[in-house]
Structure 1
Amino acid sequence: MSFKKLHPAIKEKLASLEISTPKLFQSKSIPVIKSGANVFCIAPENSGKTTTLILTTLQKLKCEEVGVAPRAVVLVENNDKALQLFDTFELYTKRTSLRLYVADEKQHIDLLKSEIFEGVDILIATPKIMNKLLLLEGLNTTQLKIFSIDDADFLTKNTSTSDLMLITQSIHKCQFVMYAEKMHPSLQRFEDYFMPFAKTVSI
């Protein structure tokens, strides 16, 4: 697979970043994610997982804003990673109408709620802050199309799993994509909870 079947705005951005050839993992995973299936994406560091996450999110949302409720959520391990991913995402969302938002844990929850209500297409958050927003009715999940977890290996060793389970209980119809370096048994079991019929792409 090349990048030819992606949205024209994505291809234009890739060209401007001088990215012309997909990595092996991207060639294998992007078509599967585009199909709409739930997917476990397993690959070592520097395989292009985060770029794949960004590209498939933009593809799913057709590079344009719609409505006010988030249509894509990306969960990350901690606040620092959320801010880093926001910066990386922004390289690709510039010159599109997509509204990218990071739920910064250092900000007051009421501020996060009010800013999200103004309209967001892509929300980047930690499991903890997203669960808090849901508990306080500060987040509408009815329009979600794709829910990704970046570097999901962290779910094998901390308390974020319980937050994730609570979050997914409030989402009724959505594509889930999980990125990790290894397929841990504790990640595999999520298939029984919120990733039915999940496919696995690994290199």
Structure 2
Amino acid sequence: MPFKKLHAHILETLERLKITTPTPLQRSSIPVIKSGSNTFCTAPKGGGKTTTLVLTTLQKLRCEAMGNAPRAVVLVENKEKALALYSTFLSYTKNNSLRVYVGYEELHIDIQKSEIFEGIDILISTPKAMKKLFLLNGINTSQLKLFSIDDAEFLNKSTDAGAVISITQSIKKCQYVVYSEKLHPQLKHFESYFMEHSKIIEA
């Protein structure tokens, strides 16, 4: 079964990248995420979690730039993963106007603040870097539509989990999607904070 009911830009990009058949996770999770539900997506390594994240983010933002404040945030474990995901997003946004920005602890916070202020649509960051942006009023979340966490196993570290909880408590209304290989107790614990009424998709 091919991908269906996605934005025309996304379908063109999938064709260009020769991605024709969704994985079991993509087949079951994309419609649920599109519906606006908070969602836990679990699948083994290579199950298509990151591609699902990219596709649903582009779909949510309708593949076009709008305003100056980020409308999607993706948290990852570290600089290496942030840059890798940034590269993946760029391969999908070549033919549309979406602006993707990547931040991490090693990049000076004042640089991040000024570059984000110029206008972005998608922010890729680490929990610590994002929390610092919040503390310094370096990010406007009033337009945020989608907040995703990729390979969320790293949140078993209490400091990162605490940073995520702190960040989400400052966001008024948003859809949350958490991707991991398994639904660990620490991740399930987020139901008490920002993953209310969440759906669980396992592949």
**Range into which the TM-score falls when normalised by the shorter chain:** over 0.9
Q: How does 1:143-182 map to 2 (within 5 A)?
A: 143-182=143-182
Deviation at 1:8, TM superposition (A): 0.1
Q: How far apart are residue 199 of structure 1 and its match? A: 0.2
Report if aligned partners of 1:69, 1:140 keep a CA contact under 8 Å in 2. Answer: yes
Instruction: Report if the CA contact (8 A) 2:65-2:98 is conserved.
Output: yes
Question: Partners in 2 of 1:104 and 1:89 — Cα distance?
Answer: 16
How far 1:106 sits from its partner (Å)?
2.4
Give matches, 1:15-164, under 5 Å: 15-164=15-164
Supply the distance in 2 between the matched residues of 1:130 and 1:104 (Cα, whole angstroms): 8
Of 164-173 and 51-60, the range deviating more from structure 2: 164-173
Distance in 2, Cα, partners of 1:116 & 1:104: 13
Paired residues in the alignment total: 203
Counterpart residue number, 1:193: 193
Q: Would the aligned equivalents of 2:76 and 2:82 in 1 still touch at CA under 8 Å? A: yes
Kept after mapping to 1: 8 A contact 2:39/2:176: yes
Give the TM-score taking structure 2 as reference length: 0.98
Which AA in structure 2 matches 1:34? K
1:166 maps to a residue whose letter is S
CA distance in structure 2 between the partners assigned to 1:151 and 1:194 by the alignment: 18
Partners of 1:7 and 1:59 within 8 A in 2: yes
RMSD: 0.9
Percent identity reads 63
Deviation by residue 1:113-157 (Cα, 9 ceiling, x = unmatched):
000000000000000000000000000011000000000011013
Tell me if the contact between 2:78 and 2:104 (Cα under 8 Å) persists in the aligned partners.
no
Counterpart Cα distance in 2 of 1:52 and 1:193: 24
Unmatched runs of 5 consecutive residues or more in structure 1: none
Partners of 2:47 and 2:158 lie apart in 1 by: 25
SS at match of 1:41: strand
Distance 1:155 1:105 in 2: 16
Deviation of 1:105 (Å): 2.7
* Alpha-carbon offset, residue 2 of structure 1: 3.3
Which amino acid is 1:74 matched to? V
Q: Which moved more, 1:180-189 or 1:46-55?
A: 180-189
Whole-Å separation in 2 of the counterparts to 1:152 and 1:172: 22
In the aligned structure 1, how far is the partner of 2:190 from the partner of 2:107? 30
The 8 Å contact of residues 71 and 143 in structure 1, kept in 2 or not, is answered as yes
Q: CA deviation at 1:23?
A: 0.9
The TM-score with structure 1 as length reference comes to 0.98
Instruction: Give deviations 1:34-64, integer Å, cap 9, x for gaps.
Output: 0100000011100000000000000000000
Structure 2, unaligned stretches of length 5 or more?
Answer: none
Residue pair 2:39, 2:199 contacting (<8 A) in 1 also: yes
